[in-house]
Structures are given as C-alpha cells and as structure tokens.
Amino acid sequence: MVKKFIKITAFLLAVVLLFVCSYFVLGFKYTDSIFKMKMFYEQEDNTVDVLVLGSSHAYQGINTAVLWKEYGYPAYDLCGAAQPIWNTYYYLEEALKTQTPKVIILDTYTLHYSTDYSETSYGIKNTYGLKWSKTKIDAIKASFNEEEYGKQYFFEFLQYHSRYSDLNRADFYSYQANKDVYKYHKGFYCYFRSEPVNYDENLFLVEYQNEMTEKTESYYRKIFELAKSRNIPVIAAAIPFAAEKYHQGFFNTAKRIAEEYNMPFYNFLTDYKDELGLDYNTDFSDNQHLNYLGNTKLTRFFGNLLKDKYNMTDRRGDEKYSSWEKDSEVYYNQLENHNVTLTDSLNDYISVFKNERYKIIMTETYDIGKEKVPELNAFFSKIGVSEDEYKRGGMWVFEGGQKTYYNECTQKDFYRTVRLDGVNTALVKKSGERNAVYFNKTERSNITNGINIYVYDTFTKSTVDAVCFDYSSGDFYRKSD
C-alpha cells in the first residue's frame, strides 16, 4: 500500500513537472506584447510616473530611454501589438493595481477597428501576459467570441502546447536569453532603419467624424472614466504613421470624446505636425512606425510638455529608479552600434576599437600596396598593433578596448574559431590570398588584398558591423547583411 502510494505520488509529480516545464518552455513570450506585461510586474510599486498605453505605435513611439536620460521621467510602455482598446482598458486596470502614474499617454490608433474581436493571435498576445485575476478573466471575455470558441481561451495550455515547432533559444532562458538587454526592459522597442513614408497633405481637410463601434467607444470612455476616478490626467494622442483620411475621421471623434472628459488630445498628424517637426523621409522605420529619429522627436515633445504642464519630478540619481538608468543604457548602446554602421573611413573606425563592449576580429592578407596607404601605419598604431605585427600581417582579436590576440597565420589553409560570448562563435578562414570572417554560417566580410574588420557587441549579443578596407583601391566598404 505504502509502496503504491509512493509510486503514484512520484508519477503525479512527474506529470506536474511535465506541465511546469511545458509552461516555461512552450509558454508565449512575445516581446511585442506578453513580455511587456510580464516585465511590468517586475517594476517596483509606484515607480512608473508615465504610463504609456496603446499599440505598437506607442511602444515604438515613446522612447523611455530618452525620456529618462534627458528629463528623468520614469516611463513604461505598457502596450501590445495591434492592441484593441478593450485590451488597453484592462491593461490600465491591471497597471493601477501596483502603480500610481502621474500621467497616462494614450495612443488612439486602434480606435478605427471595425470588428468586435481581433484576430486570435492578437487576442492571445493582449491577454495572456496578465496574471490571473478578475481583470484577466474580463479581458479574455472581451477578447474572444465566446459563442464561437466556447471557453477554450481560458485554458492557455491549449493554445501554447503546439508551439514546439516554433521554439528558439529565447524560450529556454529567462529574459529572452539576453539578460543585459531585457532585464530592465520598459516596454520600449526601437528600429534604427529608415524608410520614407507618404504623408497625405490633405489630412488637414478632414473635418468629419467617423463613428467608432459601440464596443470601442465604450472602452475608450471607460479609460477616461477610470483615470478620472483616480485623478490621473490622460494625454490622448494620434502618433504619426502613414495615415489615411478615414483614420483622421476617427481621430476627430477621439478628440471630441477626450475633450468631453477635459483631457487634451494631441494629433501629431495634423494639429501638432509642425511643432513636432518630423521628416517623413527619414524618421520612420516603416509606414506604421517611427524609428529612433522619429521617436526621439516625439519623446522630446512629450518631455517638454510634461515638464511645462504636468507636475513631474526628475528622478535621476534616485536609487529607487536605477532600473531606468540600466534600461536607457540598452538604448544608447544600440544607438552607438547603429552609429558605427554609419562610419565611412578607417579613421572613424579607430574609436570603435576602443569600445569596451565590442569584440573585434581583424584579419589581413597580402600586402601589395600597403606602403602606398599612408594612414594605415597610423591606424594600426592607434589601435595598438605594433609595427612588427603590422608588417607581418595575420589576424588580431580585440576585446575590452585592447588587443588580446595575434596570429601571423602562416599556415596555408588557416582556420581559427573565436569565441564571442557564451553562445556565439566566429570563424576566421584564410585560404590562399583570401581571408574571411564567418558568423552564423554566413560570410560577414572577405577581401583578398586588405583588411577585414568584424565587430560584435557582447552586450546585445549581435553583430554590429563588418567592413573591409582594400589596399590597392583605398576603398572602405561595408558588407551588408
């Protein structure tokens, strides 16, 4: 009897363990939604002064790092991809359980949605990050059509168990397998690429108001009502994107309703377009979202607005808010990486070698014309390569701003792996006159007469840049991914 009891208990424990492991590995971790909510729970109570709510337009539009670095305002972009307004409402309800923001910035992009339920995947993304409570139950009820799907969405396992075909490294570690980048995440996400976006000059002319669905309008109003009941001012906004006239029609309605509650509405597509000063050729990453240039402008606008009109406190230097300092470091490191890719001469690259975060592999082959390039000598000496090594050529590794490895590579077919960090490894291959650096099975740079430089950031755990300098032509060029 006792033996059987032990057996059964052990078996049940194994089954429980199976479900627990499945949850950790297979559970949803989308950074564009669920992860933001999960990280929000890690914020210390009553530290978020600026609560940003809404869709991707908001979490790629309000730059928490800039708002911290330049103004000292701790903000959190508690948003979700394509988030319908009812989900925004429940996010607010959840946020107010632990935080008392001084101000709420509300993105109103999704008010134009014409259906009462969003696509299943967005429904999941905008509810499954919540902890179990009445709020979550209400959110799920609002997000899925019960008549059609029954109650299955209350059972998360049903939805995520089949993710086995979708797993990647991030699923097996906490913080998306990159603690440096994600441990202090504040919901903000940034693109550094640029794409020109059309701006409809006639948006100004739209005066009509489009009618929102009953469900949308009621939740939009509920947000104001809830904020009001807690005495928190809301700043509603139309964040720039490639908007069409019918969007503007919805923003007009959104503005009218906001004003009914005595809350301001900033339409950056029309009313505040000039004040914001966006360049539609450079400040967007795609036709929906601002990039780093655009979001910096928008964030500064809000920073100034908050400073002038809202009772804000500069929290810089306060130990309680140190996680915002850490979070902003991530952004400024990414910005620095981006700036590396904008360099266009060997001389500009000298400072890159001094960056302590970077692990740099430099290889050289053949030396025809070496002496014809006068700045080469100076370059090598400035990055810490001795004259002797410079003359002999070979490969170098730099880390922590210092040269740490040199090999003359005299073998005919030379192979050397370079451990970049715990996971990633690069391969240096020199064969005959050709030398190349490989990362993730892809050749990142190669040249037959000159130097290859491959730059890896140990902080973001990603390739920063790969450039070549050709001795015979004197060209400095970049291999794009």
Partner 1 sequence: MQFNSISFLVFFPIVLLIYFIIPKKLRYIWLLVSSYYFYMSWNAKYAVLIAFSTLVTYLCGIIIEQMGLENGKVWIKLRRFTLFLGIAANLGILFVYKYFNFAVDNLNFILGRLNIAYTYEQFDILLPVGISFYTFQALGYVIDVYRKNIGAEYNIFKYALFVSFFPQLVAGPIERSGNLMRQINNIDKIKLFNYERIVKGFMVMMWGYFLKVVIADRAASVVNEVFNNYYAYGSVELIAGAVFFAVQIYCDFASYSTIAVGAAGIMGIELMDNFNTPYFASSVKEFWRRWHISLSTWFRDYLYIPLGGNRKGKARKYLNIFIVFLASGLWHGANWTYAIWGALHGLYQVIGDISRPLKDKINDKLNVKTQALSYRIIKILITFALTSFAWIFFRADSINVALEYIARIFTALDPWALTTGFMYNIGLETREMNILLIAVFVMFIVDLLKYKRNIRFENIADNQNSWVRGAVIFALIAAVVIFGAYGYSFDAQQFIYFQF
Strand order in the sheet with 425-431: 413-419, 425-431, 434-439, 442-447
CA angle 207, 211, 215 (to 5 degrees): 150
> With binding defined as CB under 8 A, does residue 7 bind partner 1?
yes
> With binding defined as CB under 8 A, does residue 26 bind partner 1?
yes
Among 131, 151, 169, 320, binds partner 1 (CB under 8 A): 151
Q: Tell me, what DSSP letter sits at residue 462?
A: E
Question: 7 or 309, CB closer to partner 1?
Answer: 7
Alpha-carbon gap, residue 330 to 192, rounded angstroms: 13
Question: 7 or 320, CB closer to partner 1?
Answer: 7
> With binding defined as CB under 8 A, does residue 460 bind partner 1?
no
Per-residue CA distances from 33 to 52, 191, 331 (Å): 13, 16, 19
Alpha-carbon gap, residue 213 to 114, rounded angstroms: 6
Least Å distance between CB 116 and partner 1? 20
Least Å distance between CB 156 and partner 1? 9
3-state DSSP helix/strand/coil % of the chain, to nearest 5? 45, 20, 40
Question: 26 or 206, CB closer to partner 1?
Answer: 26
Write out the two tokens for 381: 């000496």
Task: State the chain's maximal CA–CA distance in angstroms.
Answer: 89
Among 58, 124, 227, 346, binds partner 1 (CB under 8 A): 124
Question: 17 or 205, CB closer to partner 1?
Answer: 17
Binding mask 64-103 for partner 1 (x = CB under 8 A): ----------------------------------------
Among 16, 18, 20, 368, binds partner 1 (CB under 8 A): 18
Least Å distance between CB 157 and partner 1? 7
> With binding defined as CB under 8 A, does residue 16 bind partner 1?
no
Question: 159 or 210, CB closer to partner 1?
Answer: 159
> With binding defined as CB under 8 A, does residue 22 bind partner 1?
yes
Q: Is 36 helix (H, G, I), strand (E, B) or coil?
A: helix
Among 9, 152, 313, 431, binds partner 1 (CB under 8 A): 152
Strand order in the sheet with 234-238: 75-79, 50-54, 103-107, 234-238, 265-267
Alpha-carbon gap, residue 99 to 93, rounded angstroms: 10
- Given phi > 0 = left and psi -120 to 50 = alpha, else beta, which region is 245? alpha
Q: Is 261 helix (H, G, I), strand (E, B) or coil?
A: coil
Give the number of other CB atoms < 10 A from CB of residue 194. 17
* Residue list 172-231, contact with partner 1 (CB under 8 A): none
Question: 119 or 375, CB closer to partner 1?
Answer: 119
Cα 467 to the center of its chain, rounded Å? 25
Among 102, 161, 221, 478, binds partner 1 (CB under 8 A): 161
Question: 136 or 359, CB closer to partner 1?
Answer: 136
> With binding defined as CB under 8 A, does residue 434 bind partner 1?
no
Total residues at interface with partner 1 (CB under 8 A) = 24
Interface residues with partner 1 (CB under 8 A) are: 4, 7, 10-11, 14-15, 18-19, 22, 26, 120-121, 124, 151-152, 155, 157-162, 164-165
